[in-house]
Structure 1
Amino acid sequence: MSQSTQPRSPVSGKHVRRAVAHCLDVLEGIPAAQWHDRAGDLEWTRRETLDHLADDLLTYALRFGLARPMGVPRVPLRVSRERPEGPANVIFTDHDAGPQGLLTTVEACGGLLAAAVDTAPPTALAPHVFGASDPEGFAAMGVVETLVHTHDIARGSDRDREPPQDLSERALARLFPDVPVLGTPWATLLWATGRIETPDRPRRTDWRWYGAPLDRGAARDALGTAEDVTG
């Protein structure tokens, strides 16, 4: 089916919190020894991928802590890596805290993003590598990052399961206006982010989302104007 012509359901901090709650529920049972295994098809370990997710949620939230979010390209925190092939983050969870510490960090960072997007002026814009976006756009980015990286981490374990379909549906409508929904919204989101192939569509090797506010008609105008992202 294609995306509905009915009015689009918005994305808010409530949906970020629901995505994070799904993440915690899925990942809490993974044994400690398995957190050093590779996360799906990524080059990162499960631990590194969850740290990356927490870092994304936090840095998205920080953009709306500024009185003038568009005044600087990014909050100038020091970026580092724990190993050369690992993610470049501004935060890392204490290794001594174990898997529960990782989940606590993600929950805290997700809560900050939820609060930030719900309290920021709806028309505020903040910079992103794919172009400026509004609080709803960053909420949708948080949902997508959380759902797909939870899937990456859970792959190869007995914990992998589908998130609520409405979260994927909202995120697709907000960030992937060019992608028709075929099958379920969750399967479509996995395809849109290069995770799977389907009988009707080969796996994407290059993909991106479109965070420009949809009510300004900017998302479709921006198609193809920014570099693609992989992984």
Structure 2
Amino acid sequence: MLSTGGNEVDEAVASAVALLRPAVDRNWAEVKAGPVDWSCRKTAEHIVIDLVIYASRLAGRTESAYVPLNISLDSTYSGAPTDDKDINEGILEVITATGALLTAAIRTAPRDARAFHPAPYRSANREGFAAMGIAEVLLHAHDMADGLGLLPYEPPAHLAEFVLTRIFPSVRPGPDHWQTLLWAAGRADLPGRARPTRWHWTNNLVLDTERLRLEGVTPAAAADLSAGGTGGFDWIEGGPFEGTRDAAGMVAKAYQAGVHRPEFGLYVLVRREDDRAVGGMGFHGAPDEDGKAEVGYDLAEQARGNGYATEALRALAGWALARDDVRSLFATVEPHNTPSQAVITRVGFTPVSEEGEVGEDGLRAYELRG
């Protein structure tokens, strides 16, 4: 069963606090935090701010970029400690407390909960917020440890893997998940790879229709689906169908090879009325040099005959053909599969060859141009 990330947030916070505690007697306000342009004190404050904002957005299902919060670590109030050790111990307690807030928001959020996050698709689900919180804690604890002379630091590898497989879907995994995450965030070198100079999280894309949500499948969910799991979705009886599991396997292989383009991967079709998954739809890969991309889909048998495939394909085709890098969509259908032929015809696909003619693979080809 896929984790939603609450336990991992707790573990990441505990790991970071244990790392930093040996340096609580230092003046964190006067020590630069490794590669960032902040002091260790300012970096710790940044961790706290992100944990609070992520928790509040997810708990409140915030849809706006504007969150009227003003958060700071205040050591000027009456009776505040003046000793560096007491101040820094208090900071670690605040990091622990705000980490617990994010964990609580993750554990109580329903599966379909989403809230605002800017990059790149304007929202994230509970796993996305967990991954972002873990990344903020681990990466900035590493920055502080760098400045305080506490390196090397090796957090549990599965925490870095959680982050990579949720919000770095285009990054080819390496044998060391932590070093790969440090590289992806511009903090370390990896043999044979140029260090990135710009980077951001990539939460999964979701496309809405009247009755459905097309939810982009992360590498973590794809691996689970291809191995016989649910991918974190609540499927109707008979789902996921064989084609969805095969497509998930394609996504998992592309991710391992470092060629996965998440927006041109697999989407699970989820009914909005009851949050039940009914099928899968997506691309066989990114568009080629001519701007052509191939699409495929299937539904669980109990979901067929309701127009779900037509509704979802219209949305996916409209999204794809509105892009500059897609000029046409391509699909192949078995000659005897008249329901599938009806779906793509309703969406506007037309036969590539003469009526009744099939290719060498025994399939009929259809195309939809932008």
TM-score normalised per structure 2: 0.51
| Unpaired runs of at least 5, structure 2 | 207-213, 219-261, 266-322, 324-370
- Cross-structure match for 1:155: 146
2:67 counterpart of 1:58: no
Of structures 1 and 2, the larger Rg is shown by 2
CA shift digits 1:81-140 (9 cap, x unpaired): xxxxxxxxx232436351101101100100000000110112111001212001111011
- Cross-structure match for 1:120: 109
Q: Which one of the candidate residues 20, 29, 45 is aligned to 2:13?
A: 20
- Cross-structure match for 1:141: 132
- Cross-structure match for 2:204: 212
> Are the structure 2 counterparts of residues 145 and 222 from structure 1 closer, same or farther at C-alpha, using a change threshold of 3 Å?
farther
Alignment of 1:161-172 (within 5 A): 161-172=153-164
Return the offset for 1:222.
8.7
Q: Which one of the candidate residues 36, 45, 50 is aligned to 2:39?
A: 45
Q: Which one of the candidate residues 184, 188, 193 is aligned to 1:196?
A: 188
Supply the AA of the counterpart residue of 2:180.
T
1:134–1:213 Cα contact (<8 Å) kept: no
- Cross-structure match for 2:341: none
Q: Distance in 2 between matches of 1:118 and 1:174?
A: 17
- Cross-structure match for 1:94: 75
> Are the structure 2 counterparts of residues 106 and 160 from structure 1 closer, same or farther at C-alpha, using a change threshold of 3 Å?
farther
Q: Distance in 1 between matches of 2:264 and 2:107?
A: 25
Supply the AA of the counterpart residue of 1:48.
K
- Cross-structure match for 2:96: 107
CA shift digits 1:31-87 (9 cap, x unpaired): 433412100111101111011001100110011332x422x3332124xxxxxxxxx
Report SS of the residue matched to 1:64.
helix
Supply the AA of the counterpart residue of 1:21.
A
1:192–1:204 Cα contact (<8 Å) kept: yes
1:210–1:222 Cα contact (<8 Å) kept: no
Greater relative contact order structure (CA < 8 Å, 6+ sep): 1
Q: Distance in 2 between matches of 1:114 and 1:24?
A: 16
Report SS of the residue matched to 2:114.
coil
1:137–1:174 Cα contact (<8 Å) kept: yes
- Cross-structure match for 2:245: none
Supply the AA of the counterpart residue of 2:108.
T
Report SS of the residue matched to 2:116.
coil
Report SS of the residue matched to 1:65.
helix
Q: Which one of the candidate residues 2, 26, 29 is aligned to 2:22?
A: 29
Sequence identity, in percent?
A: 37
The number of residues matched between the two structures is 204
2:205–2:263 Cα contact (<8 Å) kept: no
Between 1:119-128 and 1:194-203, the stretch displaced more is 194-203
TM-score normalised per structure 1: 0.81
1:124–1:135 Cα contact (<8 Å) kept: yes
2:4–2:107 Cα contact (<8 Å) kept: no
Report SS of the residue matched to 1:186.
helix
Coordinate RMSD, CA, aligned: 2.4
Supply the AA of the counterpart residue of 1:217.
G
Q: Distance in 1 between matches of 2:98 and 2:75?
A: 15
Report SS of the residue matched to 2:132.
helix
Return the offset for 1:197.
1.5
- Cross-structure match for 1:4: none
